[in-house]
């Protein structure tokens, strides 16, 4: 019980001490991960560790050894984020607080981005077992490599065009986030 109290105290401090933009990114990331954790627990899985790495928050866990459990766990994060975005927008319409709209947008964007069918994203985690069940493991690996490189290529191209037109580098950065995993998967085969 002390762990929960410490968590909520830390969350309260972070939400009040950090700039609005930072909390508008952290809150959706936390809800996203809690979606994964909640589904994992509902399905009887065990969490081994939770850590932050260069590619984001990472959970190590043992899940029930069933096709649908891994798909549901992967999908639960983006789903939680989309529901969170909707709730925040409802609150925004009632209160007019601009932070709620900013946070809702970040949550929706994070959720949609995570559904792209490329590793290490949730979309890749969803596609992999489904493709393996339909076409076998070797074909699933090929499908994932192709979809990962397509996602990277499309994001990179769109990001470069937007950056050249003065709209910032966010989409280009998102593409570059995917690059190391796509290259690793390509080299391992």
Q: Is 104 helix (H, G, I), strand (E, B) or coil?
A: helix
Is pLDDT of 9 > 90?
no
Interior angle at CA 21, CA 9 and CA 170, nearest 5: 130
Q: How confident is the model at residue 3 (pLDDT cuts 50, 70, 90)?
A: very low
> Can you give the three-state secondary structure of 123-182, one letter per residue?
HHHHHHHHHHHHHCHHHHHHHHHHHHHHHHHHHHHHHHHHHHCCCCCHHHHHHHHHHHHH
- Give the global pTM: 0.83
Where are the chain's structural domains?
1-115, 117-189
Q: How confident is the model at residue 184 (pLDDT cuts 50, 70, 90)?
A: confident
Average pLDDT over residues 75-100: 97
């Amino acid at each position: 019980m002390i762990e929960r109290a410490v968590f909520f105290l830390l969350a309260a401090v972070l939400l009040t001490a950090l700039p609005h933009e930072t909390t508008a990114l952290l809150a959706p990331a936390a809800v996203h991960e809690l979606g994964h954790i909640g589904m994992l627990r509902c399905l009887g899985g065990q969490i081994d560790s939770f850590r932050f790495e260069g590619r984001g928050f990472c959970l190590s866990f043992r899940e029930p050894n069933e096709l649908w459990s891994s798909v549901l766990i992967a999908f639960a994060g983006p789903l939680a984020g989309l529901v969170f975005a909707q709730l925040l927008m409802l609150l925004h319409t009632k209160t007019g607080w601009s932070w709620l709209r900013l946070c809702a947008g970040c949550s929706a964007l994070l959720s949609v981005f995570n559904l792209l069918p490329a590793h290490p994203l949730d979309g890749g985690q969803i596609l992999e077992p489904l493709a393996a069940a339909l076409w076998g493991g070797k074909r699933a690996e090929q499908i994932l490599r192709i979809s990962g490189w397509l996602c990277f290529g499309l994001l990179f191209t769109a990001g470069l065009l937007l950056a050249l037109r003065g709209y910032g580098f966010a989409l280009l950065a998102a593409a570059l986030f995917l690059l190391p995993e796509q290259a690793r998967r390509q080299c391992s085969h």
